[in-house]
């Protein structure tokens, strides 16, 4: 199954990428080499140290170096400007590697569809491979378990499109094929992802507010969650990313808001939702309101952890609960 995957380049070993690359190293052929690059070299060193027993892992100095030796490229970095750095830099970027139209390029970051189309077209014109927007859903736990959803800006696998079979094979090393969605064309996977995150980020704030109101009105927090879980307000964010500590044992809040999805990422994704709303003529009322709250939470010391588990050092975005419960109503405006 794995022979046509070849050597793999993995770029971006952050919260998501580290766990996704772990699954790639464990499931690709042990004879294949995994080339890793991250601007934070310490992440590559930790990764190499932890997973070297599964097969060769080589740390390189640029995306270009990683990609030029690989048949398959996977990247997951914070936003569109980092994606452009990785792919479009004429000296260190992937656009500068030797031509190979059979190369599969899976770009998993959550960025705007337009940037993805521009980068994908440029790489196609340069003949360096097939670039596909493949944003993921499922968070760090899904990345770790290899059960991510993949929303792909490509058509379903077919025998007339050999890259599509490799796309499915590689995605299946990191995700659950039951949750693979082929959205048709370049940029469409991201369009779907942006709509999903419009909801998940907005709903998380709604959960934090609803829980805070219920608790202050005298309802026990665990009972309140149980009520919501069995009523019309039931939702994934309340059940899995519950912002009130001690209510859902596995939620980040029950572990000192350990990092899953940073507040900065919430702002980025809500911003993408707002822009997509205006671009399509739909007023993004909910995302705009949520954006304003997360923007303040992102600079609230209560939402920033000092003993940082990552170089950036943020707490999980569900720590917005600490912000809204400790900030006087007047100051929340
Ligand atoms: P992160 O900040 O933890 O990781 C990003 C990594 O990219 C870091 O290790 C950073 O050093 C590296 N990086 C930055 N610029 C780079 C560059 N130019 N070249 C190489 N490496 C570079 O972020 P994350 O939580 O892993 O998220 C990454 C992407 O995945 C984002 O677009 C995010 O929206 C998306 N995403 C995150 C989650 C989640 O739950 N964390 C879920 C789905 C999608």
Ligand 1 site-directed mutation target among 10, 11, 13, 15, most atoms within 8 Å of CB: 15
Q: What pLDDT score was predicted for residue 330?
A: 64
What is the Å distance from ligand 1's center to 81 Cα? 12
Region of 155 please: left (phi>0), alpha (psi -120 to 50) or beta. beta
Q: What pLDDT score was predicted for residue 48?
A: 98
Last residue of a domain, one of 185, 213, 246: 185
Domain that holds residue 226: 191-332
On whether both 219 and 181 belong to a single domain, the answer is: no
Alpha helices in the chain (DSSP H): 15-27, 41-51, 63-68, 80-88, 113-126, 139-145, 162-174, 188-216, 221-229, 236-240, 263-280, 285-297, 320-326
Which residue's CA is the nearest one to ligand 1's atom 14? 77
On whether both 130 and 162 belong to a single domain, the answer is: yes
Structural domains in the chain (count): 2
Last residue of a domain, one of 136, 167, 185: 185
What is the Å distance from ligand 1's center to 137 Cα? 13
Residue matched to tokens 């590689």: 170
Lowest mean pLDDT: which of 24-28, 113-117, 296-300? 296-300
Residue 146: give its domain's CATH number. Answer: 3.40.50.720
Other beta carbons less than 10 A from residue 61's beta carbon? 10
> What digits encode the pLDDT tens for the residues 244-274?
999 999 999 999 998 888 898 999 999 999 9
Residue 275: give its domain's CATH number. Answer: 1.10.1040.10
Extract the tokens encoding 263. 């507040």
Q: What pLDDT score was predicted for residue 307?
A: 53
On whether both 65 and 128 belong to a single domain, the answer is: yes
HSE-up of 201 (CA within 13 Å, CB side)? 33
Q: CA-to-CA distance for 172 and 288, rounded, in angstroms?
A: 35
**Average pLDDT rounded to a whole number, residues 16-35:** 97
List, by residue number, the catalytic residues: 193
Pocket of ligand 1 (CB under 6 A): 11-17, 37-40, 43, 76-79, 82, 85-86, 109-110, 136-137, 139-140, 260-261, 265, 269, 310
Last residue of a domain, one of 154, 185, 216: 185
On whether both 23 and 64 belong to a single domain, the answer is: yes
On whether both 20 and 157 belong to a single domain, the answer is: yes
What is the Å distance from ligand 1's center to 110 Cα? 9
> What digits encode the pLDDT tens for the residues 109-144?
999 999 999 999 999 999 999 999 999 999 888 999
On whether both 56 and 174 belong to a single domain, the answer is: yes
On whether both 175 and 202 belong to a single domain, the answer is: no
Instruction: Tell me which residue of 79, 119, 70, 77 sits closest to 95, measured CA to CA.
Output: 119
On whether both 86 and 118 belong to a single domain, the answer is: yes
**Average pLDDT rounded to a whole number, residues 74-92:** 97
Residue matched to tokens 């809500």: 270
On whether both 46 and 168 belong to a single domain, the answer is: yes
On whether both 153 and 263 belong to a single domain, the answer is: no
**Average pLDDT rounded to a whole number, residues 9-38:** 97
- Rounded to the nearest angstrom, the gap between the alpha carbon of residue 130 and the centroid of all alpha carbons in its chain is 21
């Amino acid at each position: 199954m794995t022979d046509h995957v070849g050597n793999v380049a993995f770029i971006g070993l952050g919260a998501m990428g580290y766990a996704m690359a772990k699954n790639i190293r464990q499931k690709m052929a042990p004879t294949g080499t995994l080339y890793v690059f991250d601007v934070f070299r310490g992440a590559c060193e930790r990764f190499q140290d932890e997973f070297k027993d599964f097969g060769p892992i080589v740390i390189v100095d640029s995306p270009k170096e990683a990609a030029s030796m690989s048949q398959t490229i996977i990247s997951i970095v914070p936003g569109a400007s980092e994606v452009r750095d990785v792919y479009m830099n004429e000296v260190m970027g992937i656009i500068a590697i030797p031509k190979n139209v059979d190369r599969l390029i899976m770009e998993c970051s959550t960025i705007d569809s337009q940037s993805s189309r521009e980068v994908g077209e440029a790489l196609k014109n340069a003949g360096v491979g097939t670039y596909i927007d493949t944003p993921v859903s499922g968070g760090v736990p899904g990345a770790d378990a290899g059960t991510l959803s993949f929303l792909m800006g490509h058509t379903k696998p077919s025998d007339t499109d050999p890259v599509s079979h490799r796309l499915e094979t590689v995605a299946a090393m990191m995700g659950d094929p039951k949750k693979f969605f082929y959205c048709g064309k370049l940029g469409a996977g991201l369009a779907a992802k942006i709509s999903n995150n419009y909801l998940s980020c907005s709903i998380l704030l709604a959960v934090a507010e609803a829980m805070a109101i219920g608790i202050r009105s005298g309802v026990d927090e665990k009972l309140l969650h149980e009520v919501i879980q069995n009523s019309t307000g039931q939702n994934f964010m309340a059940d899995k990313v519950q912002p009130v500590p001690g209510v859902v044992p596995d939620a980040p809040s029950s572990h000192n808001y350990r990092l899953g999805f940073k507040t900065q990422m919430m702002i980025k994704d809500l911003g993408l939702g707002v822009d997509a709303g205006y671009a399509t003529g739909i007023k993004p009322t909910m995302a705009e309101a949520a954006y304003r709250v997360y923007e303040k939470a992102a600079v609230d010391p209560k939402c920033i952890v000092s003993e940082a588990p990552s170089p950036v050092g943020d707490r999980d975005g569900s720590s917005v609960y600490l912000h809204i419960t400790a900030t006087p109503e007047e100051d929340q405006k």
